[in-house]
């Protein structure tokens, strides 16, 4: 089935996905950069620098937060949601 | 340490040599994030379940494997290649996935559109998600399917980030372990 590009770009998120993403973000924020996707890995010095400033529980949540915003970025960029847009 | 006993039979003789292959030592995970942030882990499980709804399971594993290859998540590769094989996926299609643009005849047009979208959404900082990639996917999936597919790609990217950052150890997963 073909979706017209103009309408497909504003495809709304399934309510279940949206709710789950919000729950994930909320969960990650309880603990509280720049992230590059693809390639790289996370160097020891970067990880250890963070580990010096956050205890394990806070670090686990910080990683959750970074991952959650990476998720939101992908959901918005892939569907080209306009800046300031209220429909997503 | 993982060791592996290999019996090599020389074709020219009947002599059999038993050799022990020593692999590099196994690393430990940096952080057991699932235990340290159980609320986040549970939210991820729910998100994963929500995202996979309506996505063809064969396609889903291809998406998960390709994103994990791009993100170099060894733990997720271990999991999803084993799950794919257990579900009947062919070794050839899994192996060729890392060079899919040169082996398109291993995949359906719909799978190729989804794999291309996976690639673009995963390497997001290399030029966003190009129109031609998005429109190729939109030609093979209706809007609701596309929304689920984008969510599924996003979720495996999230798992990959946890796996790589926390350096989760591959090799111990058994197919269907978390299902």
From the DSSP assignment, how many helices (H) and strands (E) are in chain B? 8, 2
Class of domain B33-165: mainly alpha
Task: Answer whether residue B10 shows pLDDT above 90.
Answer: no
Put simply, the chain A residues between 57 and 86 with a CB less than 8 A from any chain B CB are: 57, 59-61, 63-64, 66-68, 70-71, 73-75, 77-80
CA-to-CA distance for B22 and B72, rounded, in angstroms? Answer: 24
Higher-confidence residue of A32 and B126: namely B126
Token pair listed for B175: 């197919």
Mention every residue, 6+ apart, whose C-beta is less than 8 A from residue B147. A11, A12, A13, A14, A17
Q: How far is CA B167 from CA B7, B31, B76, in A?
A: 32, 8, 11
CA-to-CA distance for A7 and B169, rounded, in angstroms? Answer: 42
ipTM confidence: 0.76
Q: Shortest CB distance from B47 goes to which of A24, A37, A80?
A: A24
Q: How much is the average pLDDT of B121-140? A: 94
To test the contact with chain A by mutation, choose from B31, B38, B43 the residue with the greatest count of A C-beta atoms within 10 A, namely B43
Q: What percentage of chain B exceeds 90 in pLDDT? A: 85
Q: Is A56 on the interface with B (CB under 8 A)?
A: yes
**Any idea of the CA torsion for A64, B43, A27, A62, to the nearest 10 degrees?**
-10
Contact A27 B50 (CB under 8 A): no
Q: Tell me what pLDDT residue A86 has.
A: 84
Check the CA dihedral B92-B78-B72-A28 and report its sign: positive
Q: How much is the average pLDDT of B70-90? A: 97
Q: How much is the average pLDDT of B157-178? A: 95
Q: Tell me what pLDDT residue A65 has.
A: 95
Q: Is A29 on the interface with B (CB under 8 A)?
A: no
B chain contacts of residue A54, beta-carbon cutoff 8 Å: none
Secondary element (H or E) of residue B7: strand B3-9
To test the contact with chain A by mutation, choose from B67, B165, B166, B168 the residue with the greatest count of A C-beta atoms within 10 A, namely B165
CA-to-CA distance for B60 and B83, rounded, in angstroms? Answer: 11
The pLDDT profile of chain A, 88 residues, written as one tens digit per residue, is 334 444 444 566 778 888 878 887 777 766 553 344 443 589 999 999 999 999 999 999 999 999 999 999 999 999 999 988 888 8
SS3 assignment, position B99: helix
- Domain ranges for chain A: 41-80
Q: Are strands B16-22 and B3-9 parallel, antiparallel or unpaired?
A: antiparallel
Q: Tell me what pLDDT residue B14 has.
A: 47
SS3 assignment, position B21: strand
Put simply, the chain B residues between 52 and 81 with a CB less than 8 A from any chain A CB are: 53, 70-72
Put simply, the chain B residues between 78 and 107 with a CB less than 8 A from any chain A CB are: none
Residue in this structure with the two tokens 């693809």, named with its chain if needed: A38
Task: Round the average pLDDT of chain B to a whole number and report it.
Answer: 91
DSSP-assigned letter for residue A47: H
Q: Tens digit of pLDDT for each residue in B18-74? A: 678 999 999 999 999 999 999 999 999 999 999 999 999 999 999 999 999 999 999
Residue in this structure with the two tokens 């205890």, named with its chain if needed: A55
Strand partners, B3: B22
């Amino acid at each position: 089935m073909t979706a017209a590009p103009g309408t497909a770009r504003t495809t709304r998120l399934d309510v279940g996905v949206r709710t789950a993403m919000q729950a994930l973000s909320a969960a990650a924020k309880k603990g509280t950069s720049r992230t590059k996707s693809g390639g790289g890995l996370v160097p020891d010095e970067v990880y250890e620098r963070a580990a010096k400033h956050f205890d394990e529980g806070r670090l686990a949540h910080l990683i959750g937060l970074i991952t959650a915003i990476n998720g939101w970025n992908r959901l918005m960029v892939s569907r080209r949601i306009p800046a300031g847009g209220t429909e997503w | 340490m993982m060791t592996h006993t290999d019996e090599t039979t020389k074709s020219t003789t009947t002599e059999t040599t038993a050799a022990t292959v020593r692999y590099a030592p196994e690393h430990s995970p940096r952080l057991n994030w699932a235990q340290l942030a159980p609320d986040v882990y549970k939210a991820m499980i729910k998100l994963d379940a929500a995202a996979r709804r309506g996505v063809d399971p064969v396609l889903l594993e291809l998406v998960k494997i390709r994103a994990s290859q791009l993100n170099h998540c060894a733990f997720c590769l271990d999991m999803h290649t084993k799950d794919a094989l257990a579900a009947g996926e062919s070794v050839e299609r899994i192996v060729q996935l890392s060079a899919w643009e040169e082996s398109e005849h291993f995949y359906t047009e719909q799978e190729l559109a989804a794999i291309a979208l996976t690639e673009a959404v995963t390497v997001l900082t290399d030029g966003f998600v190009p129109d031609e990639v998005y429109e190729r996917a939109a030609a093979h999936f209706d809007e609701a399917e596309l929304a689920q597919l984008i969510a599924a790609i996003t979720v495996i990217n999230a798992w990959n980030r946890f796996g790589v950052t926390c350096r989760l150890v591959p090799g111990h997963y058994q197919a269907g372990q978390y299902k």
